[in-house]
Amino acid sequence: MQTRTSLASALVSLLAIAAAAWAHHSPSAEFDMAKRVSLTGTLTKIDWVNPHIVAFLEAKGADGATENWRMESNPPAWFRRVGVSRNDLAKGIGQTVTVEGNRAKDGNLYMYMLKITFADGSSLELVNNAVTEASTQ
Amino acid sequence: MNYRLPAAGAAVVFALCAAAPLAAQDKAAKPQIAPRPLRAPDGHPNLDGIWAFAIDLPPAALKKQTASGVAVERVDQSSRQDATNVPGALPSTPAPAYKPEFQAKVKYLFDHESKEDPVFYCGKPGVPRIGSPRRIVQLPGEMIFLYEDISGDPWRIIPTDGRPHLADASPSAYGDSVGHWEGDKLVVDVTNFAEDGWFGEGGYFHSDAMRVTERFWRVGQNLAYQFTVEDPKVLAAPWTAPPRLVKPSNEPLEESPKCVEADGKLLLNSDHHGQR
């Protein structure tokens, strides 16, 4: 397996905060917030459930074997309020997509999804308030 | 599996800068909310209507990139934040004070919030933790509160016609409520709580003796909300929380998707959500 991770740029740290200060469990107790990883595969399913939506991805491992990844992200109520419905993600089912996020610390094929890029090049990405606030000044 | 480096930070910051004007345009296009009368037909303050979502959500914004450009959307969480200088608010403190013999317990719960908080496992937040209602239906002699929450979509029916508390109700997360008007405030007295919940994220456990007083009033077009928690078994004194100001909304209520908690078994430490 070929694994390359971010060199912990300040920006990535800021982005990680996006999932860190909510009133659910601490992502740092479950995910490696210092590493942002990326993988490409086929989106197979979207579960629009609380407390986190869950996306499922089928990807190939370094040995060619199929890996089934489970990727949670923010809650449905959050997505609704930034103008994203289940259909906006489910449109990618069956397509090749690229996902970035923080992988589970226990090594399972599980991550906190921060960004998804669809086959047509469009993308949805969680970004930190601090960054966006700065961008508007 | 093929991992790769994420996009360069500078490029993302540039994209966010470019996104700001588009985001502003999107917000400007949203329908306006018609002003609401300050008084109901019976002369009481008018609390009726849809109010902003007041459940805590992640603080992130969302960047949407399409062929037509980039936009950034963020969630307005002002209804969940403490407000200052709210006319009519009672003096408040940031946190409750527990009796000395319970301070170690509340600290333990706070430190182990990820594993100990029942709300993290789809539990009901109860009153007052759920915050202000998403919709208030104001009727003569009765108020109906509707909420959207990850644990389900609770409702409360609050008599305001002088009826007493129910004599034989079983304890519950949202308790038994009766309301009355004090000047321009709706005052809701809530008792009969199940004691397995928390009244706040800080490990704020309570006993079966908890009593909550909620106050609702209008400040211009906004709804003001403040609560007081009394629990003589565990608290050293009643706690009045800082007030919140809730904006009017025209976003219709939606059924909340089912709650399926799958993270608990994956937690490798007890970080509470404020730690990283």
Distances in Å between the Cα of B189 and the Cα atoms of A4, B130, B229 are: 57, 16, 10
Closest chain A residue to the Cα of B17, Cα to Cα: A135
Residue type, A51: P
* pLDDT tens string B100-115: 999 999 999 998 887 8
pLDDT band at B57 (very low <50, low <70, confident <90, very high): confident
**How confident is the model at residue B269, as a pLDDT?**
64
Burial class of residue B125 in the structure, from the number of CB atoms within 10 Å of its CB (0-12 exposed, 13-18 middle, 19+ buried): buried
Q: In chain A, how many H helices and how many E strands?
A: 4, 6
B265 DSSP 8-state letter: G
Q: Is the pLDDT reported for residue A12 higher than 80?
A: no
Chain B residues with CB inside 8 Å of A47's CB?
Answer: 260
**How confident is the model at residue A99, as a pLDDT?**
97
Chain A residues with CB inside 8 Å of B57's CB?
Answer: 22, 74-75, 77-78, 81
pLDDT band at B268 (very low <50, low <70, confident <90, very high): low
Higher pLDDT, B6 or A113: A113
**How confident is the model at residue A13, as a pLDDT?**
36
How do B49-50 and A123-127 pair as beta strands?
A: unpaired
* pLDDT tens string B74-97: 888 888 888 999 999 999 999 999
How do B185-191 and A123-127 pair as beta strands?
A: unpaired
ipTM: 0.80
Average of per-residue pLDDT across A87-100: 97
- The dotted CATH code for A10-135 is 2.40.50.140
Q: Is the pLDDT reported for residue B126 higher than 60?
A: yes
**How confident is the model at residue B271, as a pLDDT?**
58
The Cα–Cα gap between A99 and A71 comes to 9
Taking the Cβ of residue B252 and every Cβ of chain A, the question of whether any pair is shorter than 8 Å is answered with no
CA distance A88 to chain B (A): 11
Average of per-residue pLDDT across B247-255: 95
The Cα–Cα gap between B55 and B68 comes to 33
CA distance B269 to chain A (A): 5
pLDDT band at A51 (very low <50, low <70, confident <90, very high): very high
* pLDDT tens string A99-136: 999 999 888 999 999 999 999 999 999 997 443 333 33
Of B61, B201, B274, the CB nearest to A132: B61
**How confident is the model at residue B232, as a pLDDT?**
98
Closest chain B residue to the Cα of A134, Cα to Cα: B17
CB contact under 8 A, A127 and B63: yes
Q: Note the residue count of chain A.
A: 137
Chain B residues with CB inside 8 Å of A42's CB?
Answer: none
Count Cβ–Cβ pairs < 8 Å, chain A vs chain B: 217
Average of per-residue pLDDT across B154-163: 97
Residues 99-118 on B with a CB inside 8 Å of A are 113-115
**How confident is the model at residue B138, as a pLDDT?**
98
**How confident is the model at residue B29, as a pLDDT?**
59
Q: Is the pLDDT reported for residue B159 higher than 70?
A: yes
Phi/psi at B195 (5° precision) = -95, 15
Q: Mean of the per-residue pLDDT values for chain B?
A: 87
In sequence order, which residues have a C-beta less than 8 Å from that of residue A67 and are 6 or more positions away? Answer: A41, A58, A59, A60, A61, A109, B1
Closest chain A residue to the Cα of B59, Cα to Cα: A18
Which residue has 């009672």 as its token pair? Answer: B90
Q: Is the pLDDT reported for residue B27 higher than 80?
A: no
**How confident is the model at residue B265, as a pLDDT?**
67
Taking the Cβ of residue B9 and every Cβ of chain A, the question of whether any pair is shorter than 8 Å is answered with yes
Assign A69 to helix, strand or coil: strand
The Cα–Cα gap between A100 and B3 comes to 9
